[in-house]
């Protein structure tokens, strides 16, 4: 099978594309797969690192306001359809797969001009503009959540497959969890709250956590906090100015990034995080209670819609970014971790939205479109 995957910008678009590519390669080792992205996004690191060829076009997301810069972006994006068409004509794929985001408009439009089957994957509960624009043209749209299906009324076919991710539930004993917490530097048996905001961190979450730790509010729970690479040094300086050694805190461990994400998600008692589609998928996969602070500037406010999926099954609490304070976050954490039965039930509820055999379902739908 020859496949082109359109994925650009953030890990939320690129990682599902890579997972789909890996599944195809596993099922059909002789497959030829290339990616189309831009010269600006994370795809320039992640795609070659995963062993796939990346072709680039000059496509852009379009803002809704009228400006000279926006008109230039629109012109370049329209022109990029021709760039994508040229790549498609040269590679001659059996199918084109898009994983959301503005790159899909250019590549998806070019695919239909070349009469190549088009499959789209939408990770979010509220579909993005690109998927909506292409919903009539796509042969099938695969969604991460069933809530997205009702928001795509013009689509030919929508199948709920879930969103592919490496993070799964591990069978970790309480003794193993205790050992992992000890290795992290925690010497007591307090509940572990894992707070993170993605690779770049989340400013509002970070500010609240600084105050919680400074004022020693977290005496009843431990915090493992991944600040994001870009915010770590600033946060370290903030504590040092207060005479606090960031490497020697009793109830908090602060790191720039977590590399053993699957292990930590399975070990933590409660998660505090944004609510991108990949995060929601991982939270439901490991079955953990969460406090979500949706990113307020996400397109179509899709992070809040994502968070509501788990809130609706009583697996999560939501604090809107505009309402977030250290006091409110601390109170919400304490209300959840003080009740072990409630913690366990919220975790079980999270698994209610888990979708099994995601990659296989996606592969089967791709093969069905080819027939």
For the segment 141-156, what is each residue's pLDDT rounded down to a tens digit?
999 998 999 899 999 9
Flag whether 235 is in a domain.
yes
The answer to whether residues 204 and 266 belong to one domain is: yes
Beta pairing, strands 32-37 & 118-122: unpaired
Statement to judge: residues 288 and 326 lie in one domain? yes
The set of residues, in sequence order, having a beta carbon less than 8 Å from that of 169 and lying 6+ positions away, is 266, 285, 286, 287, 351
pTM for the model: 0.85
Looking at the fold, whether 149 and 183 belong to one and the same domain comes out as: no
Same domain, residue pair 179 and 323: yes
**Whole-angstrom Cα distance, residue 157 to residue 232?**
45
Euclidean distance between CA atoms 51 and 327, whole angstroms: 46
Tokens encoding 134: 């292409």
- 249 is a domain residue: yes
Q: Tell me the residue range of the domain where 329 lies.
A: 174-353
pLDDT > 90? residue 198: no
If pLDDT is split at 50, 70 and 90, which confidence band does 345 have?
Answer: very high
Total domain count for the chain? 2
pLDDT band at 62 (very low <50, low <70, confident <90, very high): low
| Domain co-membership, 24 together with 130 | yes
Average pLDDT rounded to a whole number, residues 39-66? 87
Residue 132: give its domain's CATH number: 3.40.50.2000
Is the same domain home to 28 and 151? yes
Q: What's the mean pLDDT when you consider all of the chain?
A: 92
């Amino acid at each position: 099978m020859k496949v082109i995957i359109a994925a650009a910008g953030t890990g939320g678009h690129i990682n599902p594309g890579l997972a789909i590519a890996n599944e195809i390669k596993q099922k059909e080792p002789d497959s030829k797969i290339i990616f189309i992205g831009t010269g600006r996004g994370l795809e320039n690191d992640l795609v070659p690192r995963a062993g796939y060829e990346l072709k680039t076009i000059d496509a852009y997301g379009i803002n809704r306001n009228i400006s000279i810069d926006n008109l230039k972006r629109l012109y370049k994006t329209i022109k990029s359809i021709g760039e994508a068409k040229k790549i498609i004509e040269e590679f001659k794929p059996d199918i084109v797969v898009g994983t959301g985001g503005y790159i899909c408009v250019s590549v998806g439009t070019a695919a239909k001009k070349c009469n190549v089957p088009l499959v789209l994957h939408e990770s979010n509960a509220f579909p993005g503009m690109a998927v909506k624009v292409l919903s009539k043209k796509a042969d099938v749209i695969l969604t991460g959540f069933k809530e997205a299906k009702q928001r795509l009324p013009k689509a030919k076919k929508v199948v709920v497959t879930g969103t592919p991710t490496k993070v799964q539930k591990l069978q970790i004993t309480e003794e193993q969890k205790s050992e992992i917490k000890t290795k992290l530097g925690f010497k007591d048996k307090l509940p572990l709250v894992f707070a993170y905001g993605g690779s770049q961190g989340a400013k509002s979450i970070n500010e609240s956590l600084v105050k919680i730790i400074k004022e020693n509010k977290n005496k009843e729970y431990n915090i493992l906090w991944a600040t994001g690479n870009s915010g770590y040094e600033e946060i370290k300086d903030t504590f040092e100015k207060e005479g606090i050694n960031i490497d020697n805190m009793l109830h908090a461990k602060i790191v720039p990034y977590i590399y053993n994400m699957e292990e930590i998600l399975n070990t933590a008692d409660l998660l505090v995080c944004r609510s991108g589609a990949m995060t929601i998928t991982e939270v439901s996969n490991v079955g953990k209670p969460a406090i979500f602070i949706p990113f307020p500037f996400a397109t179509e406010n899709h992070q809040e819609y994502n968070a509501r999926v788990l809130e609706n099954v009583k697996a999560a609490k939501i604090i809107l970014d505009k309402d977030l304070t250290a006091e409110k976050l601390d109170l919400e954490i304490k209300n959840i971790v003080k009740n072990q039965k409630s913690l366990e039930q919220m975790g079980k509820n999270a698994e209610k939205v888990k979708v099994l055999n995601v990659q296989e379902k996606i592969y089967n739908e791709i093969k069905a479109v080819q027939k």
